[in-house]
Amino acid sequence: MYILKLFSTFLKVNLQQDLAYRADAIVNMVMSVIGTGWDLLGLSIIFANTKEIGGWGPSELIALMGVWRLVNVMMATIVWPNTEKFNTGVRDGSLDYTFLQPVNSQLLISITRMVVWRVFDFAIAVALIIAGMTSGNVITSPPLVAAFLALTFSGAAIIYSLWITLISFTFWFTKFDNSVTIMAALMDAGRYPAQVYPYWLRALITFIIPIAVATTVPLQALRGELMGWQIIGFLVIGAAAVFLSSRVWKAGVRRYSGASS
Amino acid sequence: MQVVKTMLQQSAFGAPGADSNPIVVEGLSKTYQVTDREGGFGAAVRSFVKRKFRDVKAVQNVSFRIGQGEIVGFLGPNGAGKTTTLKMLAGLLHPTSGSAKVLGFTPWERNSGYLRSMTLVMGQRNRLSWDIPAADSFLLNQAIYRISDADYKRVFDELNELLDLAPIIRKPVRNLSLGERMKCELAASLLHRPAVLFLDEPTIGLDISAQVRIRAFLKEYNRRSGATILLTSHYMADVTALCERIIIIHHGQTKYDGKLVDLSRRIAPFKLIGVTLGDCADCDLSRYGTVVPGEGSEDAGKHSVQVKADEVAAITARMLAELPVVDLTIEDPPIEDVIERAFHE
Amino acid sequence: MFAIYKRLWLVNWAEQWQYRANLLMYLAFWLVSPIVYLAVWTTIANAQGSINGFTAPDFVAYYMMLLIVDIATSDITIHIFGYKIMDGSLSNELILPIHPVLMKVLVNNLAFKALQMMALAPIWLILYVLYQPVFAITVTHVLLAIPAIALGFMLQFFAGATITCIAFWTTRVWSISDFYSNIFRLLAGQFVPLALLPAFMQSASQVLPFRLALYFPVQLLLGKLSLEETLLDLGLQVVWCVILFVLFRLVWRAGLKKYAAVGA
């Protein structure tokens, strides 16, 4: 509960910060709506030329777009702003203050900066998912929806863990500070079902930068394409990723304090 | 000699108008509008809906003129308006009202002839590229300021002689120490032989020996080139070593403009008498003046007494007569104290 | 004047070379989305035989060419200059007697491009072996493509610089630049060859300058344009360059005035 309190405090401070940039917040919300319209336009261009792509119809791709945007909300709210803060901290030494505070350092570097108005994008993403699920021929049943939600959550957790791992590497390889951009670059590949891609790209976004695990996989569950053991397998992988990445972070911190003393 | 230099200066920069002073500032003012916001979450939300603005008068009606070859210290507490004034003089800020002529140019017109004849050095704000050796940045500046190879070589050799640059300019800037970086920074800013230098905290963050080196360099550079220098600093040692004249600014207004030595006389018309007493348990120094606690190590029997400047002779005589004096000195009060008092007058 | 550009180039080259590891990371941005769209459209084309006359090999050739032209004509002004306006480090450059954008940023752009091209070359060759695209390029096309690409870049540079200047007024310009790149993606041909857009968007793309910056040079290199069409578009590129250049000068001047009034 301490964590929740800390989280809400940070949320409040960040919200206060964001409120200071009024025009920013409004412009960004307008842009989010326009961006969504624009993405839907892109989908409509695809489906003006075909009925399905890789076995997926328009309503499924709308739902996929929602899931993809959900992951992006997490990236935009937490991952990108804190990466920036982290990198500056490493460069100018202000990261030291993080370790002086009596709080789990991984939690602290994950939530010091949050772009709160992205909550608006969250609403858009949820609306897209619901629209996609209800409009077309997506087979849904309560257990499948539950599996979908669980897999979306664990997929996001895997992406988050990858991020923690990548920034932890900075403690060993200082030149590695831009590795996170590779995540940003590959995010785009999550817009479409992984089945569409050539095998090497599919492997890349499933195993190396597992954006497909956070987007395509939950949708597959929703379509009833995954076996029970596969669903459980993905959830186990998610939990393992969270555990392993926190170990890597701790090792990185130990390395950092060893090097700077 | 001085006359010739001034004439050269004028012909080189075509200073129009009658005033031969390189820096002429008349009634310069700068007012910012800032959003006013109280702390707290509710205030943040309210301010999201409705903004309140407030005028901040950073600089108010500041006037001064600085002569050819002068080094003037521009002093004041944080937020007094020093940097704002320097930025206006360097052409980065447009004043709300008032005028300024530097070398005959109005700075904020940002005439490229003006930009080529002045320089602004802002503390550790880097003009050098972080990842490459300073030598490469120097060559870039040579191109930017259109310095001929012959001039470049001559100026560089001179700067090298003064700052001992050779051993450090081949290393990437990020690997240099603060002091080394400041040396390179200064050199890069001076390659084009500016006639006017604006230095904002040139020694900030440096250790004592680096500060001393930079100071000696500035003094020598000024002597050789006849450049006019306006500098701000929080280190009084910079000011006492370099500036005969100081301008004190506080809350955007000029508080003092004149010789540094006159300041102590005007603001603090008193002296410190340092006495070292022999064996004397019940000597009462407060009879002579205010006993200043502090620096003198009491153990050795050294005390400081503050007295009015015009009574120094009389009181010294009385002390020598009445006390077992071992040693006696008469000093000016520390300049920090004087300036501190000047800020608050 | 030339000496300044030469020095700027040398400094930028040395600087960027320091960052070669990061450069590879940034390259991924230019690589991923063309490959994604290539995959999407070839999947559809393979399933249907062809889309409006476009076969899978047509798409492969199109996106493989786009990979090169996109890097050649893209502009990074907003990323390397936007923050300087916002954090006030622009001041350091304003005291120099050269134009911070038209000289420094321009050369920075070119140095970045040159290194990106070097990094792209081996990857492009691997993709070439994987996809076996068929090009019908003649020397004439290449010769005409040189000015087309140069002008395409200048167009994007002036547009990007103008958008970056918005930073003088609003604290963060990223969302506006996102908006711009969204439009660019559809109307310049990154998403799909413009011939496959719905009719109303096709006519919009014809009128707007975006296609001149990317689609036109790509089509030219693919040998799809007649000489008259090429010359007409080259002329249009020049006209738009002038318009955007003038626009940039106006916005830049107004921005500096604002910057000098408020300080940063």
Residue of chain A whose alpha carbon sits nearest to that of C194:
A45
- Are A20 and B51 a contacting pair at CB < 8 A? no
What is the arithmetic mean of pLDDT over B194-209? 89
Q: Which chain A residues are within 8 Å of B35, Cβ to Cβ?
A: 20
Of B263, B285, B313, the one marking the end of a domain is B263
- Are B140 and C8 a contacting pair at CB < 8 A? yes
Q: Which chain C residues are within 8 Å of A215, Cβ to Cβ?
A: none
- Structurally, chain B folds into a number of domains equal to 2
Task: Please determine, for residue B137, whether its predicted confidence score (pLDDT) is greater than 80.
Answer: yes
Q: Which chain C residues are within 8 Å of B87, Cβ to Cβ?
A: 91, 263
Distance from CA of A17 to the nearest CA of B (A): 8
Residue B49 lies in a domain: no
Interface test with B, best of A12, A19, A92 (most B CBs within 10 A): A19
Q: Which domain holds residue B209?
A: 2-27+60-263
Q: Which among B35, B41, B51 has the least Cβ separation from residue A16? A: B41
Burial of A19 (C-beta count, 10 Å sphere; 0-12/13-18/19+): buried
Residue B42 lies in a domain: no
- Are B41 and A12 a contacting pair at CB < 8 A? yes
- Are C7 and B143 a contacting pair at CB < 8 A? yes
Res A217: pLDDT: 93
**Predicted confidence band of residue B16 (pLDDT cuts 50, 70, 90):** very low
The answer to whether residues B185 and B273 belong to one domain is no
Residue of chain C whose alpha carbon sits nearest to that of B149:
C3
Q: Which among B90, B93, B129 has the least Cβ separation from residue C15? A: B129
The answer to whether residues B98 and B199 belong to one domain is yes
Residue of chain C whose alpha carbon sits nearest to that of A20:
C171
Distance from CA of B313 to the nearest CA of C (A): 53
Instruction: List pLDDT tens digits, range A43-54.
Output: 999 998 888 888
Instruction: List pLDDT tens digits, range A105-117.
Output: 888 888 888 888 7
Q: Which among A53, A175, A201 has the least Cβ separation from residue C44? A: A53
Res A55: pLDDT: 85
- Are A185 and C40 a contacting pair at CB < 8 A? no
Tens-of-pLDDT digits for all 264 residues of chain C?
778 888 888 888 887 777 776 777 778 888 888 999 999 999 999 988 889 889 999 999 999 999 999 999 999 999 889 888 888 888 888 888 889 999 989 999 999 899 889 889 999 999 999 989 999 888 999 999 999 999 999 999 999 999 999 999 876 677 788 889 889 999 999 999 999 999 999 999 999 999 999 999 999 999 999 999 999 999 999 999 999 999 999 999 999 998 888 764
Q: Which chain A residues are within 8 Å of C26, Cβ to Cβ?
A: 178, 181, 185
* Pairwise CA distance, residues B242 & C33, whole Å: 60
**Predicted confidence band of residue A69 (pLDDT cuts 50, 70, 90):** very high
Res C187: pLDDT: 94
Q: Which chain A residues are within 8 Å of C22, Cβ to Cβ?
A: 175, 177-178, 181
* Pairwise CA distance, residues C38 & C44, whole Å: 10
Residue B300 lies in a domain: yes
Task: Please determine, for residue B309, whether its predicted confidence score (pLDDT) is greater than 90.
Answer: no
Res C194: pLDDT: 95
Res B10: pLDDT: 42
Residue B46 lies in a domain: no
Q: Which among B35, B44, B51 has the least Cβ separation from residue A16? A: B44
* Pairwise CA distance, residues B206 & B184, whole Å: 14
List CB contacts of A96: < 8 A, sequence separation 6 or more.
A260
Res B37: pLDDT: 67
Task: Please determine, for residue B13, whether its predicted confidence score (pLDDT) is greater than 60.
Answer: no
Res C99: pLDDT: 92
Residue B281 lies in a domain: yes
Res B1: pLDDT: 39
With both helix axes pointing from N to C terminus, report the angle between B149-163 and B208-225 in degrees, rounded to the nearest 10. 140
Q: Which chain A residues are within 8 Å of B50, Cβ to Cβ?
A: none
Strands (E), B7-127: 23-36, 52-66, 71-75, 97-102, 118-122
Interface test with B, best of C10, C85, C96 (most B CBs within 10 A): C96
List CB contacts of B273: < 8 A, sequence separation 6 or more.
B288, B289, B304, B305, B306, B307, B312, B315, B316, B319, B328, B329, B330, B331
Res A138: pLDDT: 61
- Are C178 and A31 a contacting pair at CB < 8 A? yes
- Are B120 and C261 a contacting pair at CB < 8 A? no
Distance from CA of B311 to the nearest CA of C (A): 50
Q: Which chain B residues are within 8 Å of A12, Cβ to Cβ?
A: 41
Q: CA gyration radius for chain A?
A: 19
Report the share of chain B in percent with pLDDT over 90. Answer: 30
Q: How many interface pairs between A and B have CB atoms less than 8 angstroms apart?
A: 17
The answer to whether residues B180 and B291 belong to one domain is no
Q: How many interface pairs between A and C have CB atoms less than 8 angstroms apart?
A: 97
- Are C171 and A31 a contacting pair at CB < 8 A? no
The residue among B105, B254, B119, B292 whose CA lies nearest residue B189 is B119
Q: Which among C3, C18, C263 has the least Cβ separation from residue B93? A: C263
Write out chain C in H/E/C secondary structure. Answer: CHHHHHHHHHHHHHHHHHCHHHHHHHHHHHHHHHHHHHHHHHHHHHHHCCECCECHHHHHHHHHHHHHHHHHHCCCHHHHHHHHHHHCCHHHHHCCCCCHHHHHHHHHHHHHHHHHHHHHHHHHHHHHHHHCCCCCCCHHHHHHHHHHHHHHHHHHHHHHHHHHHHHHCCCCCHHHHHHHHHHHHHHCCCCCCHHHCCHHHHHHHHHCCHHHHCHHHHHHHCCCCCHHHHHHHHHHHHHHHHHHHHHHHHHHHHHHHHHHHHCC
Q: Which chain A residues are within 8 Å of C198, Cβ to Cβ?
A: 44-45, 48
Distance from CA of A8 to the nearest CA of B (A): 13
Res A43: pLDDT: 92
Res C263: pLDDT: 62
Residue B89 lies in a domain: yes
Q: Which domain holds residue A25?
A: 2-260
* Pairwise CA distance, residues B136 & B233, whole Å: 29
* Pairwise CA distance, residues A82 & A97, whole Å: 15
Instruction: List pLDDT tens digits, range A30-40.
Output: 888 998 999 99
Res A127: pLDDT: 94
Q: Which chain C residues are within 8 Å of A51, Cβ to Cβ?
A: none
Distance from CA of C159 to the nearest CA of B (A): 25
Q: How many interface pairs between B and C have CB atoms less than 8 angstroms apart?
A: 72
The answer to whether residues B257 and B278 belong to one domain is no
Res A239: pLDDT: 95
> Could you give the maximum distance between any two Cα atoms of chain C, in Å?
62
- Structurally, chain C folds into a number of domains equal to 1
Of B207, B230, B263, the one marking the end of a domain is B263
Q: Which chain C residues are within 8 Å of B143, Cβ to Cβ?
A: 3-4, 6-8
Neighbours of chain C (3+ CB pairs under 8 A): A, B
The answer to whether residues B165 and B291 belong to one domain is no
Chain B CB within 8 Å of residue A12 CB: yes
Q: Is B168 helix (H, G, I), strand (E, B) or coil?
A: coil
Res B110: pLDDT: 86
Q: Which chain C residues are within 8 Å of B125, Cβ to Cβ?
A: 89, 91-92
Res C11: pLDDT: 82
Report the share of chain A in percent with pLDDT over 90. Answer: 33
The answer to whether residues B233 and B301 belong to one domain is no
Instruction: List pLDDT tens digits, range B228-277.
Output: 999 998 888 888 899 999 999 988 889 889 998 888 777 777 888 888 88
CATH number for position B163? 3.40.50.300
Task: Please determine, for residue A261, whether its predicted confidence score (pLDDT) is greater than 50.
Answer: no
Residue of chain B whose alpha carbon sits nearest to that of C104:
B144
Distance from CA of B270 to the nearest CA of A (A): 46
* Contact (Cβ atoms closer than 8 angstroms) between residue C27 and residue C84: no
The answer to whether residues B10 and B137 belong to one domain is yes
Question: Which residue is associated with the tokens 């004034």?
Answer: B85
Residue B55 lies in a domain: no
**Quick one: CA torsion of B249, B251, B252, B257, rounded to 10 degrees?**
-20
Res A45: pLDDT: 92
Res B226: pLDDT: 92
Of B243, B263, B283, the one marking the end of a domain is B263
What is the arithmetic mean of pLDDT over B202-215? 86
Q: Which among B115, B120, B122 has the least Cβ separation from residue C97? A: B115
Q: Which domain holds residue C112?
A: 2-262
Give the tokens for residue A82.
């804190």
**Predicted confidence band of residue A77 (pLDDT cuts 50, 70, 90):** confident
Res A175: pLDDT: 66
Q: Mean pLDDT across chain A, nearest whole number?
A: 85
Distance from CA of A191 to the nearest CA of B (A): 35
Strand B245-250 and strand B71-75: the pairing is parallel
**ipTM of this predicted structure:** 0.85
* Pairwise CA distance, residues B158 & B191, whole Å: 10
Instruction: List pLDDT tens digits, range B41-90.
Output: 777 777 777 777 788 888 999 999 999 999 999 998 888 889 899 999 99
Q: Which chain B residues are within 8 Å of A19, Cβ to Cβ?
A: 44-45, 47-48
**Predicted confidence band of residue A249 (pLDDT cuts 50, 70, 90):** very high
The answer to whether residues B328 and B196 belong to one domain is no
pTM summary value: 0.83
Res B281: pLDDT: 66
Task: Please determine, for residue A259, whether its predicted confidence score (pLDDT) is greater than 70.
Answer: no
CATH number for position B310? 3.30.70
Neighbours of chain A (3+ CB pairs under 8 A): B, C
- Are B47 and A15 a contacting pair at CB < 8 A? no
- Are B144 and C97 a contacting pair at CB < 8 A? yes
- Are C22 and A178 a contacting pair at CB < 8 A? yes
Chain C residues whose C-beta is within 8 A of a chain B C-beta are: 3-4, 6-8, 10-11, 14-15, 18-19, 89, 91-92, 94-98, 257, 260-263
The answer to whether residues B198 and B94 belong to one domain is yes
Q: Please state the length of chain B.
A: 345
Instruction: List pLDDT tens digits, range B168-191.
Output: 999 888 888 888 888 899 899 999
